[in-house]
């Protein structure tokens, strides 16, 4: 999402009094997360039991036509929950079979639904996660709640 689109989103959220600490995750943070996950999975390739927790997979392909046999790795996630999904940019960054979110701002939640994200709730404090299973859970928490 570009800076203009983010600015427009913030204006819309403020107009509807839904500016609940919208702090978009930067591309640099998402790339670092992806690299850390891939590094972890490579080093634990033989001891990960997917079971009910879901699946992670590093898919490797060799593009002989365009990249002269260059190896490309893609992180594939079975199910991904983003708590405080915002505009969905973190969910968009990762390949996931199923994408879930929690988002309190109606304008953001409506956009996520249109993008095919299944919302398991709107307010984090009203959602029970103990009996749910996801391959990956990510949260960009409301910073006003950090100390609590």
Indicate the domain borders of the chain. Answer: 3-46+55-145
Rounded to whole angstroms, how far apart are CA atoms 3 and 16? 20
Mean pLDDT of 141-146: 65
Rounded to whole angstroms, how far apart are CA atoms 114 and 147? 34
Domain 3-46+55-145 bears CATH identifier 3.30.420: no
Rounded to whole angstroms, how far apart are CA atoms 78 and 54? 6
Give 8-21 pLDDT, tens digit per residue. 766 776 676 666 56
What are the distances in angstroms from CA 59 to CA 14, 29, 41, 112?
41, 22, 12, 26
Give 73-117 pLDDT, tens digit per residue. 777 788 999 998 888 989 998 888 999 999 888 888 888 999 999
Q: pTM for this one? A: 0.71
Q: End-to-end CA distance of the chain: give it in Å, rounded.
A: 31
């Amino acid at each position: 999402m570009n800076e203009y689109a983010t600015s427009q989103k913030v204006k819309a959220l403020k107009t509807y009094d839904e500016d609940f600490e919208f702090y978009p995750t930067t591309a640099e943070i998402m790339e670092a997360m992806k690299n850390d996950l891939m590094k972890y999975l490579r080093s634990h390739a033989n001891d990960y039991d997917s079971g009910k927790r879901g699946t992670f997979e590093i898919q490797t392909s060799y593009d002989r036509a365009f990249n002269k046999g260059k190896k490309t790795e893609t992180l594939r996630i079975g199910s991904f929950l983003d708590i405080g999904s915002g505009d969905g940019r973190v969910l968009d960054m990762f390949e996931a079979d199923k994408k879930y979110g929690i988002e309190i701002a109606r304008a953001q939640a409506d956009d996520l639904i249109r993008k095919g994200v299944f919302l398991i709730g709107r307010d984090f404090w009203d959602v029970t996660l103990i009996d749910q299973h996801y391959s990956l859970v990510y949260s960009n928490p409301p910073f006003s709640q950090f100390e609590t």
